[in-house]
Amino acid sequence: MSEKSSTNPGAAGRAPAADRPAALRNVVLVGHSGSGKTTLVEALALASGAVNRAGRVEDGGCLSDYDEIEHRQQRSVQLSLVPVDWGGIKINLLDTPGYADFVGELRAGLRAADAALFVVSAADGVAGATRMVWDECAAVGMPRALVVTHLEAARADFDEMTRRCAVTFGGDDLDAVLPLYLPLYGPAGADGHAPVNGLIGLLSQRVFDYSSGERTERAPTDEELPLIEAARNRLIEGIIAESEDESLMDRYLAGEEIELKTLVGDLETAVARGSFHPVLAAAPAMEGARQGLGTVELLELITGGFPTPAEREAPAVTSPDGAPRPGLGCDPEGPLAAEVVKTSSDPYVGRLSLVRVFSGTLRPDDTVHVSGHGLEDRGHEDHDVDERVSALSAPFGKQQRPLTRAIAGDLACVAKLTRAETGDTLSGKDAPLLMEPWAMPDPLLPVAIRAHSKADEDKLSQGLARLVAEDPTMCLEHNQDTRQVVLWCMGEAHADVALERLRSRYGVQVDTVDHRVALRETFGGPAAGRGRHVKQSGGHGQFAICEIQVEPLPGGSGIEFVDKVVGGAVPRQFIPSVEKGVRAQAARGIATGHPLVDVRVTLLDGKSHSVDSSDAAFQTAGALALREAAAQTTIDLLEPVAEVRVLVPDEYVGPVLSDLSGRRGRVVGTEQSGFGRTLVRAEVPEIEIGRYAVDLRSLSHGTGRFGRGYLRHEPMPGQLAARMRAEETVTA
């Protein structure tokens, strides 16, 4: 941050520790898939001395993306913590997946961090989804800086990328997003592309040369100084505009040279409070080198400009029963309050819970209270139990390095918390607390599964329970109507990872099947039916006869049963039996096996026998009567209709409306929802939006969001209903 030459006292192989919140920085890296976040984390670890060569720890294993699935898919699919030390400051680097399907891991990283580094590729530009995350950070006042990567690409242009970042992220104030350094280009190669081999500090007017593989400092040449004059003046004006010293601008405009120490101090203050967002450049180290371009500058920014945990407000807390509790301070001596931000399974250690400690100090062998977490609708049960902390550790690649404690503001892994899930609160057993949960998107892609074999069926329930315990963006549904097991996921990549984890971690092989929506049946018109159940086979017989009238009702009416029997034709004690038989048959369906709804069944007449009539006989007669009535009229199929709310940038409203129309949707309204975004409300048959989570992402280039909720059942078009009946007949 102060643009000074620096070497770090950290040593490879040593897990950093912190003894006070002021010596901690928690930083989350955000950016689209392929922007270079993981490479940047490894470069920072190498520059700080945390690893001995790029991406490798002492045992030769990878520092990041070490999971087997990540190796196979060649992308990050989970939140990773990499702690490094720089000048006595412990930096917890939180590497998040860039693919939209794993937004749950991103939200967990935002919850655990106090500042964000937005990583953008000079070759690819800024993804629309990245802007959405920027807005989320802005809403909570999280400090942000930008790092431009892939400067080695042939079409990379740092100046143009900085300008685009200012337009995208700066809003009305373009001077809130400005570079601290300008890249220094070497001689052009045979392809005409000039490599970046150094940085010029705009405030210090010093050159930091990386061309040798190590960072060296020198004064700029006479040819280099004019290159930075305009950018330097704009940066100084931007810093002074954020300064609390109102006299600085007058002094600067009067031609006075503002001392570097004052400028750096005001810059650090503006970054920490989230009103100024510096842009830096970074590139991995050359083969055999220890420092990549911009890594030292970035570490100096993190330690000097980003806030400590004590400077950030902790989430609100209540007691587990909802009673308010005083706000938390980042005090190692305060009451214990920590939150599980990630849950994973280790084949040797078992369940590992990554926790952020907001208050107090967590130690091995402590007994803590686990409270959580309000996601029962997603298959995550609420918790209110005591558990013992067996061991604390710091993750480092595949390794888990023991910790003696985790103080307020720090992150650590806790082993073998058997009941804790992501989002749960850990607190003192004598003073239990519950933290306000963070916003988690709804999973909207259904994946119906079934066990591959009998052996898999025996293990499926436990494997699914452990899977959803790790991931609050996943919902497990046992649909009673369709008799399917459904995993609701964020997208196809999320589903692929979930099924692969079921197979590789929990030894459960499953097959995917077509997801079915919960259809209903109803009568197309009034009809009458007679149910006759008479059997005489020696001994006690069965005798029951009933006559009913069935008529359709408006949608949402359910099943009505009316008794109009006169003269005791059906004894009073058997009328509930007829109703029970009718309702049981309606639940089983009468034509296609889907439940019958929205009809009134009127019992008109019947016959009984003083000896052979029974409850069971009249139940059977009631069911037979309903089936006979159904044969006298048409049976309509009803399909569920969802209320869909789609939020997209204005430029995608037209394609979204056209797409919804093609799905038999009815648009009921559009309205502005913030600057440049429109909320579209529509009613769409659920059978048409099974893959809408995937299709909308493609349609809106990752910038669209949608929510859905059941609205009602309504008649399915005749041609489609006939096709559905034919398909179900073939399946049966």
Half-sphere exposure (Cβ direction) of 268: Cα atoms closer than 13 Å: 19
Whole-number Cα distances in Å, 561 to 329, 520, 531, 554: 61, 18, 16, 15
Of 89, 149, 142, 92, residue with least CA distance to 304: 89
The rounded distance, in Å, linking the Cα atoms of 504 and 77 is 15
Q: Which structure tokens are listed for 660?
A: 């919804």
- Helix, strand, coil % in the chain, rounded to nearest 5: 30, 30, 40
Beta strands 475-479 and 484-489 are antiparallel
Tell me if 558 sits within 8 A of 597, measured CB to CB: yes
Counts for the chain of helices (H) and strands (E), in that order: 16, 36
The predicted pLDDT at position 63 comes to: 59
CATH of domain 449-513: 3.30.70.870
Element (H, E) at 63: none
The predicted pLDDT at position 70 comes to: 56
Q: Where does the pLDDT of residue 3 fall: very low under 50, low under 70, confident under 90, or very high at 90 and above?
A: very low
Per the DSSP assignment, residues forming a β-bridge with 400 are 395
The rounded distance, in Å, linking the Cα atoms of 670 and 680 is 5
- pLDDT over threshold 90, residue 338: yes
The predicted pLDDT at position 74 comes to: 52
Mean pLDDT of 56-66: 50
Whole-number Cα distances in Å, 708 to 108, 525, 643: 23, 32, 6
The predicted pLDDT at position 207 comes to: 92
The rounded distance, in Å, linking the Cα atoms of 183 and 187 is 13
The rounded distance, in Å, linking the Cα atoms of 465 and 64 is 27
The rounded distance, in Å, linking the Cα atoms of 395 and 309 is 20
The rounded distance, in Å, linking the Cα atoms of 34 and 98 is 7
The predicted pLDDT at position 12 comes to: 42
The total number of residues shown for the chain amounts to: 732
Task: Say which residue the tokens 């505009």 belong to.
Answer: 241
The rounded distance, in Å, linking the Cα atoms of 675 and 135 is 11
Element (H, E) at 221: none
Q: pTM for the full model?
A: 0.86
Tell me if 200 sits within 8 A of 226, measured CB to CB: no
Instruction: Determine the angle formed by the axes of helices 454-470 and 492-504, rounding to 10 degrees.
Output: 120
Question: Strands of 559-563's sheet, edge to edge?
Answer: 527-535, 542-552, 599-607, 559-563
Going by C-beta distance under 8 Å and a sequence separation of 6 or more, which residues neighbour residue 303?
1, 25, 86, 87, 89, 91
**Fold topology of 520-633:** Ribosomal Protein S5; domain 2 (3.30.230)
Tell me if 376 sits within 8 A of 382, measured CB to CB: yes
Q: Which structure tokens are listed for 476?
A: 């497990």
Half-sphere exposure (Cβ direction) of 580: Cα atoms closer than 13 Å: 12
208: buried, middle or exposed (CB in 10 Å: 19+, 13-18, 0-12)?
buried
Going by C-beta distance under 8 Å and a sequence separation of 6 or more, which residues neighbour residue 452?
509, 510, 511
The rounded distance, in Å, linking the Cα atoms of 174 and 164 is 10
Over the stretch 254-292, which tens digit does the pLDDT of each residue have? 888 889 899 999 999 999 988 999 999 998 776 666 788
Q: Which structure tokens are listed for 177?
A: 């997003």
Beta strands 527-535 and 115-121 are unpaired
CATH of domain 317-435: 2.40.30.10
Over the stretch 362-402, which tens digit does the pLDDT of each residue have? 999 999 999 986 666 655 667 789 999 988 998 887 788 89
Of 77, 98, 80, residue with least CA distance to 44: 80
Q: Where are the domains of the chain?
A: 21-311, 317-435, 449-513, 520-633, 638-731
- pLDDT over threshold 90, residue 28: yes
Going by C-beta distance under 8 Å and a sequence separation of 6 or more, which residues neighbour residue 179?
158, 162, 202, 231, 235, 278, 279, 280, 281
Mean pLDDT of 412-423: 88
Over the stretch 505-545, which tens digit does the pLDDT of each residue have? 889 999 999 999 999 999 999 999 999 999 876 667 899 99
Average the pLDDT over each of 83-87, 267-271, 419-423, 489-493 and give the range with the smallest value. 419-423
CA distance from start to end of the chain: 69
Q: Which structure tokens are listed for 163?
A: 């300008």
Decide: helix, strand or coil at residue 347. coil
Element (H, E) at 450: strand 445-451
Q: Provide the residue type at 261 as one letter.
A: K
**Fold topology of 21-311:** Rossmann fold (3.40.50)
- pLDDT over threshold 90, residue 123: no
Over the stretch 364-374, which tens digit does the pLDDT of each residue have? 999 999 998 66
Over the stretch 603-658, which tens digit does the pLDDT of each residue have? 999 999 988 899 999 999 999 999 999 999 999 999 999 999 999 999 999 999 99
Fold matches, 449-513 and 638-731 = yes
CATH of domain 638-731: 3.30.70.240
305: buried, middle or exposed (CB in 10 Å: 19+, 13-18, 0-12)?
buried
Tell me if 281 sits within 8 A of 151, measured CB to CB: yes
The predicted pLDDT at position 127 comes to: 79
The predicted pLDDT at position 56 comes to: 52
Tell me if 91 sits within 8 A of 299, measured CB to CB: yes
Of 435, 424, 406, residue with least CA distance to 327: 435
Tell me if 41 sits within 8 A of 57, measured CB to CB: no
Mean pLDDT of 191-217: 85
The more confidently predicted of residues 418 and 693 is: 693
Tell me if 693 sits within 8 A of 644, measured CB to CB: no
What percentage of the chain has pLDDT greater than the value 90?
55
- pLDDT over threshold 90, residue 222: no
Element (H, E) at 516: none
Q: Where does the pLDDT of residue 68 fall: very low under 50, low under 70, confident under 90, or very high at 90 and above?
A: low
